Structure 1
Amino acid sequence: MMTKMKKPESGASAAANPTSSADYDYLLKFLALGDSGVGKTSFLYQYTDNTFVSKFTSTVGIDFREKRVVHRIPSADGTVGRSQRIHLQLWDTAGQERYRSLTTAFFRDAMGFLVLFDLTNEKSFINIRSWLTELQTHAYCDKPDIVLIGNKADLEDVRKVSEQKIYKLVEEYNLLYFETSASTGQNVAKAVECLLDKQLLCITSVNRSVMFVI
């Protein structure tokens, strides 16, 4: 179902000021990308609602889900910092080519990207390079934060994409990678939390730098 909404703020202004009076410390906007049918919508539902809903029609244009979380910010030295209240917007995009121009219009508004392919569909994996190229062209910076996700890991008996091919791509693009199952919930939260870690570490590092500007 298509949801009517306003276009989000740009990535540069998407993070809330941690000293504001809002009931959260940061607003983060992540975009889920990938071919139609790889399970983007099911993945996001599993993360926000802990529910697997298998009967979905293809997303038309852009839709989104939201979740409030309390997340501990990692420090650069690997230690765990203080907790932050996060308002997370997860934007769900159409994978069909005919909606590509609409999808790319939202790239600059996202702060991080979940790029999904279907482990049982090799074409969806081959097309990851095309999605990464789109990101390099349209994202808010040359090297945006990306987590690569091989979905439908529970369907091991019909798996078509080998680990060797995946890790070759991961090394080439220096990506973080998770194999997930929107059906069972395997690694779904871990994949999103990994992207949260990257974003919050970046944001807090910038905030510290600003504090010491004279």
Structure 2
Amino acid sequence: MSYDYLFKYIIIGPSGVGKSCLLLQFTDKRFHTDHDLTIGVEFGARMITIDGKQIKLQIWDTAGQESFRSITRSYYRGAHGALLAYDITRRETFNHLKGWLAEVREHSNKEMVIMLIGNKNDLEVKRAVSYEDGRKFAEENGLMFMETSAKTASNVDEAFLETARRIYDKVKRGVSGMDPTPPNGRAGVNVQQESGNSQPSGGCC
């Protein structure tokens, strides 16, 4: 399928917060209750439409374990959007957000659009991080914010699509570093405007 733009996303955050499940729910509309931790980086893709333009979202799901951080840092380069995820039932994952945010901003384009994701909001009875805490952190750090559930699909599409709309708005406004460039052989290094065959989608729960 041809497309007009290619946006590269990364999903980052501590281990076990549901990053792979968010990817699988968005690309395949599936949820796995049992899954292995991501080893390195996994990939998925989906086509969307904004203002009549076909946009391919190329999404990289990164491992949260410290032993893989040196591998996943290389995927920050050239990314246009990031979902920074934590688990609303595990306070420690929220407490680690400052470190993750500092890292992604150090290694990525300063114009990257970042959406803070409080995942697993279907587990309200186990909540350890309030919605207000998440919203406040996002506001203080200039991030978009949503709570999601990869299990029920609540706000999963919305998180990816709202991030894409913000990227597209920067493209239209000609924001430096976010303007379309011709393909250069490395998909996603810049926002790309092109026509071609989409790559196979994939991903793990």
40, 46, 51: which one aligns with 1:61 = 40
Is contact 2:41-2:72 (8 Å) kept? yes
Instruction: State the identity %.
Output: 38
Q: Equivalents in 2 of 1:114, 1:101: separation in Å?
A: 19
Aligned ranges 1:90-105 → 2 under 5 Å? 90-105=59-74
Aligned ranges 1:1-214 → 2 under 5 Å? 23-72=2-51, 83-141=52-110, 143-206=111-174
TM-score, normalised to structure 1, is: 0.79
Q: Equivalents in 2 of 1:33, 1:68: separation in Å?
A: 21
Q: 1:70 to 1:135 in 2, by over 3 A?
A: same
Is contact 2:12-2:83 (8 Å) kept? yes
**1:174 offset after TM fit, Å?**
1.8
Of residues 114-123 and 50-59 in structure 1, the stretch that sits farther from structure 2 once superposed is 50-59
Q: Equivalents in 2 of 1:96, 1:44: separation in Å?
A: 18
Of residues 91-100 and 49-58 in structure 1, the stretch that sits farther from structure 2 once superposed is 49-58
Give the paired residue count. 176
Q: Which runs of at least 4 in structure 1 moved beyond 3 Å after TM superposition?
A: none
**1:118 offset after TM fit, Å?**
0.3
Uncovered stretches (5+) of structure 1, i.e. residues with no partner: 1-21, 73-82
Q: Equivalents in 1 of 2:123, 2:160: separation in Å?
A: 21
Q: Equivalents in 1 of 2:19, 2:34: separation in Å?
A: 13
Q: CA RMSD in A?
A: 1.5
Which amino acid in the other structure matches residue 169 of structure 1?
A: F
Q: Equivalents in 1 of 2:131, 2:163: separation in Å?
A: 22
Q: Equivalents in 2 of 1:177, 1:151: separation in Å?
A: 11
Whose helix proportion is higher, 1 or 2?
Answer: 1
**1:168 offset after TM fit, Å?**
2.4
- Higher RCO (C-alpha under 8 Å, 6+ residues apart): 2
TM-score, normalised to structure 2, is: 0.82
**1:167 offset after TM fit, Å?**
2.6
**1:119 offset after TM fit, Å?**
0.4
Q: Secondary structure at the match of 1:170?
A: helix
Of residues 90-99 and 143-152 in structure 1, the stretch that sits farther from structure 2 once superposed is 143-152
